[in-house]
Amino acid sequence: MSSSFSSFVPPSRVLMGPGPSDVYPQVLEALARPTIGHLDPKFVTLMDEVKQLLQYAFQTSHALTMPISAPGSAGMEAVFVNLIEPGDKVIVCQNGVFGGRMQQNVQRCGGQAIMVLDTWGKQTDVQKVREALQANPDAKALAFVHAETSTGVLNDAKTLCQLAQEFDCLSIVDAVTSLGGSELKVDDWQIDAIYSGTQKCLSCVPGLSPVSFSDKAIAAIKQRQHPVQSWFLDMDLVMGYWGKGAKRAYHHTAPVNSIYALHQSLLILQQEGLEKSWARHQQHHQSLKIGLENLGLEFVVDKAYRLPQLNMVSIPDGVDDAQVRSRLLTEFELEIGAGLGELAGKVWRIGLMGCASSQKNVDYCVSSLAKVLS
């Protein structure tokens, strides 16, 4: 083994990719506070505050609202393994990478995914979803991505959830990139199960996944014919730890310091106000749009459903994608994202999430790109 190992000191980057986003200094400070036990009465009090702050962020009164002790992909899996059983039909909307991951989760649960496919960079077609629900009246759930990180498309969550209500099926929503950055109203829109991540518009460290389940979703979990296939993500077990009251049943050792960090980031969101946070993301998107278009860059997604916190632009002809991103990173300490799947090498994804959504970052990104592209 090498004797030259030493403490890791990361460079200070400006994170304007698809995530993680820049982390608030107050959140990093919260991480460094003394670790206490995961059943300590003081920590239990903090858990209750985190639940209340998450209810505010999601705009819900759902009792089963909490952070999964793992990243957003585990939040997605928690929702599917608790709600979907062998033989269940799920209408899954895909217009990017993450709708495809929903499909894989349904299949791994033994369910049948009925796919509603739309072009990457386009919005999910509501009429096609209606037709799929009409053709499959026995569907248990409708699953879709609210903010598709791979393309920068904002799907019409409110209308899609109304369709789920109309056809008496559960709504399952991926809000990994929308929570805190775009309008999201779980109770008003009657969302049954939703999951997100901490590393996007909450500007917290990666590694936690906020989730929320409605009473209707909880009833579906309690009526299961088969055990939840994941012990760690079984909501009945987890709620013994994250439930109400001072007495908690040991389930797992929570990532104590990460919960401190999430609490701090949610406090910052509450202090700014949800509506102001949504407006700030939109304001800096408009500023970035002007700057990028002045450089001759073109947006891929129609402005009617363009995601303000994840901007997808076409790479100009003759420009080397990897070389530009490498120069931005090495010369300017600036990270932007590459295209995924069928968009690889064709687009850049520029994030404006959480505290990274600032005029300072917009100006820095535009000026750095101008220098590299010239």
Cα three-residue angle 136-140-143, rounded to 5 degrees: 90
Q: Do 181 and 236 share a domain, yes or no?
A: yes
Residue range of the domain that includes 189: 25-270
Contact 184, 39 (CB under 8 A): no
Whole-number pLDDT of residue 246? 67
Q: Based on the domain organization, do 196 and 287 belong to the same domain?
A: no
How many structural domains compose the chain? Answer: 2
Same domain, 219 and 283: no
311 and 170 housed in the same domain: no
Domain end marker among 220, 247, 270: 270
Pairing of β 112-117 and β 89-94: parallel
160 plus 210 within the same structural domain: yes
CATH of the domain at 339: 3.90.1150.10
> What are the helix (H) ranges across 205-312?
215-222, 235-242, 256-272, 274-294
Are 153 and 240 found together in one domain?
yes
How far apart, in whole angstroms, are the C-alpha atoms of residue 320 and residue 316? 9
pLDDT of 148: 97
Q: How far is CA 79 from CA 59, 212, 316, 343, 354, in A?
A: 18, 9, 40, 28, 25
The H or E element that residue 31 is part of is: helix 25-31
CA distance 63 to 78: 16
Residue type, 84: I
pLDDT of residue 247: 76
CA angle in degrees (0–180, nearest 5) for 124-126-129? 90
Give me the pLDDT at residue 22, please.
96
Q: Based on the fold, state whether residues 159 and 308 are members of the same structural domain.
A: no
Question: What does each of the 374 residues of the chain score in pLDDT, given as a tens digit?
Answer: 778 899 999 999 999 999 999 999 999 999 999 999 999 999 999 999 999 999 999 999 999 999 999 999 999 999 999 999 999 999 999 999 999 999 999 999 999 999 999 999 999 999 999 999 999 999 999 999 999 999 999 999 999 999 999 999 999 999 999 999 999 999 999 999 999 999 999 999 999 999 999 999 999 999 999 999 999 999 999 988 888 666 788 899 999 999 999 999 999 999 999 999 999 999 999 999 999 999 999 999 999 999 999 999 999 999 999 999 999 999 999 999 999 988 999 999 999 999 999 999 999 999 999 999 98
Exposed (0-12), middle (13-18) or buried (19+): which is 206, by Cβ within 10 Å? middle
Q: Is residue 9 part of a domain?
A: no
Q: How far apart are CA 48 and CA 145, in angstroms?
A: 28
Single out the residue in 242, 270, 298 at which a domain terminates: 270
Tokens at residue 28, please?
């990093």
Burial of 7 (0-12, 13-18, 19+ CB in 10 A): exposed
Q: What does the alpha-carbon distance between residue 241 and residue 182 come to, in Å, rounded to a whole number?
A: 30
Q: What is the pTM of this model?
A: 0.97
Whether the Cβ atoms of residue 310 and residue 301 lie closer than 8 Å to each other: no
Q: Are residues 70 and 32 in the same domain?
A: yes
Domain final position from 270, 305, 323: 270
